[in-house]
Amino acid sequence: MNSIAKPDMPDVAAQQTSSHSSTLDWVGMSRIALPLIINDQDLGEYHANTFVETYVNIANPQVKGIHMSRLYLLLAEFARQKTLTINTLAEFLQDKLASHKDISDNACVQLEFDYLINQPALKSAYSGWKDYPVTIKAIFNGDSVDLELGVKVPYSSTCPCSSALSRQLLQQAFVDDFSDQDVVDRKAVEQWLRSEKGSVATPHSQRSYAIVWTKLDQTGEGFPMHQLIDSIEKTLKTPVQTAVKREDEQEFARLNGANQMFCEDAARRLKLALLKQDRFSDFWIRVEHIESLHAHDAVAVTTKGVSGGYTPLLHR
């Protein structure tokens, strides 16, 4: 950053000591709009429009405040000159601490953005863009960096209980309509099933969300954003769609029928899938089924179970 000679102006934060001597955990800024190039582990450079939170602590209880302009200018300079990788993020946090020598011994940055993926349709030749909220968070304590990646992935969930109750009503309707026949013609059955009588009751399903936080090791340069999202969708098998023709909608119905799940089922599937991935030293999973039957939501939470790691009651 270039230093420019300035007229003598008062600096209240530097000249005054704190009237209430104490330390502060974090001081800084949030919702800083910033375009960044982020290194994706699988796809390379990703251009993201991010909102950034940047903080340092006040470890010296006699200091009144921090140098917020320094944090902002360091961030702006980083965005102009560098691609965000695991290494450059660590270097940025070190620069933040250096800019607050004798004030701070911890630094934090959090980036939020929508990660866009052009997803193909299930059967047809079409495709469409889906957005996935992504968060990257890093904390530097002067010695090491604690790095986290969070994603939110929508999917569809069909209730197994509702399916069983619907099948019972369908069975009863079939018995009622064919009770006077000892032998039922196959074509008559096919016609009955394809009529509105074949859907006398339907199971309820709903848009659902998998919110996953992971702690990353620091062996690679890129962030596994695409890999994590893809793993979640392949595990649950019922991703929400973009471009949809009739053949895609029918395939979506088939997938929902073949992958009925309670929120407990979804959480367990994801836990087993993430346990197989060495890149994540810890993880926290929350699945939310935005109920169409109830006025409330069904939720399940699970963690990797690492000592001193994520706790189930973590809220983001």
Parallel, antiparallel or unpaired: strands 298-303 and 280-289? antiparallel
- In this structure, are residues 140 and 92 in contact, taking their beta carbons and an 8 Å threshold? no
**What does the pLDDT read at residue 182?**
86
Are 166 and 24 members of one domain?
Answer: no
User: 214, 236, 207: which is closest to 298 by C-alpha?
Assistant: 207
Residue 315 belongs to some domain of the structure: no
Are 193 and 215 members of one domain?
Answer: no
CA 305-311-315 angle, 5° bins: 140
Return the CATH number at 298. Answer: 3.10.270.10
Number of domains into which the chain is organized: 2
Q: What are the tokens at 235?
A: 């595990």
Structural domain including 173 reads 161-178+185-199
Residue 14 belongs to some domain of the structure: no
DSSP assignments along 174-207, one per residue: HHHHTTT-SS--HHHHHHHHHSGGGGSS---EEE
- Look up residue 203 and give its amino acid: P
What is the distance between the terminal CA atoms of the chain, rounded to a whole angstrom?
34
**What does the pLDDT read at residue 2?**
58
**What does the pLDDT read at residue 278?**
87
**What does the pLDDT read at residue 167?**
94
Residue 257 belongs to some domain of the structure: yes
Are 193 and 217 members of one domain?
Answer: no
The tens-digit pLDDT sequence of the chain (316 residues) is 555 666 777 666 555 555 567 999 999 999 999 999 999 999 999 999 999 999 999 999 999 999 999 999 999 999 999 999 999 999 999 999 999 999 999 999 999 999 999 999 999 999 999 999 999 999 999 899 999 999 999 999 999 999 999 999 999 999 999 988 888 899 999 999 999 998 999 999 999 999 999 999 877 789 999 999 999 999 999 999 999 999 999 999 999 999 999 999 999 999 999 999 988 999 999 999 999 999 999 999 999 999 999 998 865 5
CA distance 95 to 104: 12
Are 45 and 104 members of one domain?
Answer: yes
